[in-house]
């Protein structure tokens, strides 16, 4: 218990409450404990608890609580099993989609590679076709030039033959008379008979 400082002389008369509190604190009071049928309050509380527990056991409350807890445990177990099943399904679906994604990426890479090969093949074919076309056109141009040269040469020869025939005809007219012509014809006929 804490000690109170001693008041100054004359202060006790000024504060009568302090004096009464100090006197009251100095002498503890003793109250009698209430009892009924010879039992005090803690004994009655213990007796009531025993009585309540007896009623609970008699009404099988622990069995009911146990059954309710068992049902709750079974429900939780079912939920856990369902969660495990759903997780397994989700993992299977995820694995399936990962496989599909990998397959799609592989297919895309194959398509790109195939497209590159096809583009290279088309480019090579276009180059070959262009070279063949140039060669064919060159040949056609050379053939046309050769044909034009032949035609021009034939025309020159025809003109030369025509000019030579006209010149020969003119020379023959000028130098040969009908008697010379008869002699040439007779010689030619005689040469045929041999």
Quick one: average pLDDT of 142-152?
91
Domain membership flag for residue 36? no
Nearest-10 Cα torsion for 75, 80, 86, 92: -150
Beta carbons of 36 and 44 less than 8 angstroms apart: yes
DSSP 108-144: HHHHHHHHHHHHHHHHHHHHHHHHHHHHHHHHHHHHH
- The CA R_g of the chain, rounded to the nearest whole Å, is 70
Q: Does residue 28 lie in a domain region?
A: no
- Which residues, in sequence order, are CB contacts of 36 under 8 Å at separation 6+? 44
Lowest mean per-residue pLDDT among 28-32, 83-87, 183-187: 28-32
Predicted local confidence at residue 26, as pLDDT: 52
> Is 66 part of a structural domain of the chain?
yes
Residue 11 has pLDDT above 90, yes or no: no
Q: Tell me how far apart the terminal alpha carbons of the chain are, to the nearest angstrom.
A: 183
Instruction: Look at residue 83 in the predicted model and tell me its pLDDT.
Output: 95
Question: Is the pLDDT higher at 21 or at 172?
Answer: 172
Residue 74 lies in a domain: yes
Domain count, the chain: 1
**96-133 tens-digit pLDDT:** 999 999 999 999 999 999 999 999 999 999 999 999 99
Domain membership flag for residue 23 = no
pTM of the model: 0.35
User: What confidence score (pLDDT) does residue 74 get?
Assistant: 94
Rounded mean pLDDT of 52-80?
A: 87
Higher pLDDT pick, 77 / 37 = 77
Q: With respect to residue 7, please indicate whether it lies within any of the assigned structural domains.
A: no
Residue 76 within any structural domain of the chain: yes
Boundaries of domain holding 87: 43-174
- CA torsion sign, 111 to 112 to 113 to 115? positive
pLDDT-derived band at 1 (thresholds 50, 70, 90) equals: very low
Domain assignment present for residue 163? The answer is yes
């Amino acid at each position: 218990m804490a000690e109170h400082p001693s008041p100054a002389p004359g202060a006790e008369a000024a504060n009568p409450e302090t004096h009464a509190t100090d006197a009251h604190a100095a002498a503890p009071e003793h109250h009698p404990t209430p009892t009924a049928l010879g039992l005090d309050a803690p004994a009655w509380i213990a007796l009531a608890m025993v009585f309540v527990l007896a009623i609970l056991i008699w009404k099988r409350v622990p069995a009911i609580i146990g059954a309710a807890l068992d049902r709750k445990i079974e429900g939780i177990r079912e939920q856990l099993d369902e969660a495990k099943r759903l997780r397994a399904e989700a993992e299977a679906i995820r694995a399936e989609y990962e496989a599909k994604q990998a397959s799609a990426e592989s297919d895309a890479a194959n398509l790109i590679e195939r497209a590159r090969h096809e583009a290279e093949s088309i480019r090579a074919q276009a180059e070959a076709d262009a070279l063949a076309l140039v060669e064919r056109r060159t040949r056609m141009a050379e053939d046309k030039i050769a044909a034009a040269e032949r035609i021009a040469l034939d025309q020159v020869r025809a003109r030369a033959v025509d000019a030579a025939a006209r010149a020969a005809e003119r020379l023959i007219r000028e130098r040969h008379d009908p008697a010379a012509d008869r002699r040439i014809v007779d010689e030619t006929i005689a040469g045929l008979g041999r």
